[in-house]
Structure 1
């Protein structure tokens, strides 16, 4: 019985050793096949190509910086050309390095094809999601071009709706590019939804002991007489109590429509200046805070 067990153990060890030897030989064969595809002289030459590309890019960067400082009006054009040139150098250097470093055959082409297919698949995943989301945005129309919207803390006008992204111009004249798939999961608020006019909400605060009715009438008159008002829609002034920093105040909220979203901030400024001027003239003061004493005549 012991002899039989010893024989079986010896056979198992022999089989395992044979399998390990076969795996090792297979790995060695794969390594040898891969190394046979490499041109070692080309690899050495590739280092010079990379070095020359790096020197060329550094030279062009310095050249663009020099010309941009001397010819400011052409700075944007030069920077765009520089970006295209850098991309061309990167692609050309990469292609040349690959061509001189490897012997091209069916195995290399298969490897390249598989790598490209996987890379393109991962790269196009988000692009395909944005494309489908773009179609959804165009069909569902949560906003339109020209709308003034709020999205993820950004506030501005929609200038383009594309198949991949939406571009927004903020009130500080910044251009924001938002992928379309963002709009499928986030809340978007449109202030005018295709119309030129839009409601503006402007708060005012006065003390609890002030003439509330007079203050309300003054705000109503200031909003109604503004050059930016859209009179076909009503002007509403709401009154409420507000508690802030351990003091009470009367909050008067003016809700009026501006004739065009372009004039939103001018509309708010115009009404605010008119109301504050009338408040001073009629001795209507803000809540009992430090600034109140400076406003008294």
Structure 2
């Protein structure tokens, strides 16, 4: 019993020594200052986000550039804040470095392995640039605009106005398709189907003219109408595939709707009808 009592007392004394040593490493006045630094960084990030949003609304041509600059600035603010807080809150010496290094190693190896992986992936995304803030991308069944590239995740806003949060590490192994890759304009593909016995030349002219006369079209790049014949579910069809560029990715669906309405009205006026069912032999 005496041995057990002495062992418990020794463990309690050791714990008290560790706590007292840990307390001596902390700069309590610096902790208060660190809270002010964190609050200042939060306010700075909010101001940056508000400025970029307002600037992008007023100057659409510079929207993507400002979003890219804001993403890099956010990374720098996060890293600078962490370094300042660490320097203010702890007395850095060999003992503290050993303590922090050992704790960080355990945390990284176990509890924070996914977070660290996403952080490293975020840096790779910024450097390798498979996509950029403002790009309209397709990833894992989701389609929309990249609104933010953070330390842990990427935010994607779908065309249904849903915000999807995706861990950065997912982008290292899965395929991502970017429609505009840093540009405001983007190619839009629209298919129209008519019967094989219809006036194909006139139908092609209608599709081409509908695209060229749309207020959303980007005329600096070509408008192409490809024609192919297909059999789909016992229907002999002629597919007219329009490939045209929209001025701004934000107008993609408005562009598609505008052209579709123009084509359907013009084809109806010219007596061009949809595909007909194959007759049994």
**Band the TM-score falls in, shorter-chain normalisation:** 0.5 to 0.7
- 1:3-42 CA distance string (max 9 Å, x none): xxxxxxxxxxxxxxxxxxxxxxxxxx8xxx7xxx9xxxxx
Aligned residues of 2:195 and 2:276 also touching (Cα < 8 A): yes
1:144 is matched with 132
Where relative contact order (Cα < 8 A, 6+ residues apart) is larger, the structure is 2
Instruction: Give me the whole-angstrom Cα distance separating, in 2, the residues matched to 1:185 and 1:255.
Output: 30
Q: Report runs of 4+ in structure 1 exceeding 4 Å deviation.
A: 114-120
How far did residue 121 of structure 1 move? 3.5
Counterpart of 1:128 (choices 116, 133, 153) is 116
How many pairs are equivalent? 181
**Is this contact kept in 1: 2:216–2:246, CA < 8 A?**
yes
- Residue 173 of structure 2 is aligned to residue 178 of structure 1: no
Q: Counterpart of 1:255? A: 243
Deviations 1:119-157 (A, max 9, x none): 663221111111111111000001110000000010000
CA deviation vs aligned residue, 1:180-223 (integer Å, no higher than 9, x gap): 11111111100000100000000000001001000000100000
3-state SS of 2:113 partner: helix
1:264 matches 2:252: yes
In the alignment, which residue of structure 2 is the partner of 1:275? Answer: 263
The one-character-per-residue Cα deviations of 1:32-83 (angstroms, maximum 9, x if unpaired) are: x7xxx9xxxxxxxxxxxxxxxxxxxxxxxxxxxxxxxxxxxxxxxxxxxxxx
- Offset at 1:255? 0.5
Distance 1:169 1:188 in 2: 15
SS of equivalent to 2:240 = strand
1:105 aligns with: none
The equivalences for 1:175-214 within 5 A come to 175-214=163-202
Structure 2 distance, partners of 1:229, 1:115, is: 57
Matches within 5 A, 1:66-105: none
Inter-partner Cα distance in structure 1 for 2:183 and 2:122: 22
The residue that corresponds to 1:41 in the other structure is none
What is the alpha-carbon distance in structure 1 between the residues aligned to residue 110 and residue 225 of structure 2? 54
**How does 1:5-20 map onto structure 2 within 5 Å?**
none
Q: In the aligned structure 2, how far is the partner of 1:283 from the partner of 1:227?
A: 26
* Superposition map of 1:112-127 within 5 A: 121-127=109-115
Distance 2:211 2:105 in 1: 62
Unpaired runs of 5+ residues, structure 1, are 1-28, 38-113, 290-297
Shift of 1:260: 0.4
Cα deviation code 1:255-291 (max 9, x no counterpart): 00000000000000000000000000000000015xx
Instruction: Give the superposition deviation at 1:116.
Output: 10
Equivalent in 152, 157, 179 of residue 145 of structure 2: 157
Choose 1 or 2 for highest CA Rg: 1
Q: Distance in 2 between matches of 1:268 and 1:217?
A: 17
Q: Deviations along 1:156-189, whole A, 9 cap, x unmatched? A: 0000011211101000000011111111111110
- Distance in 2, matches of 1:148 and 1:122, equals 35
* Counterpart contact for 2:108–2:116, Cα < 8 Å: no
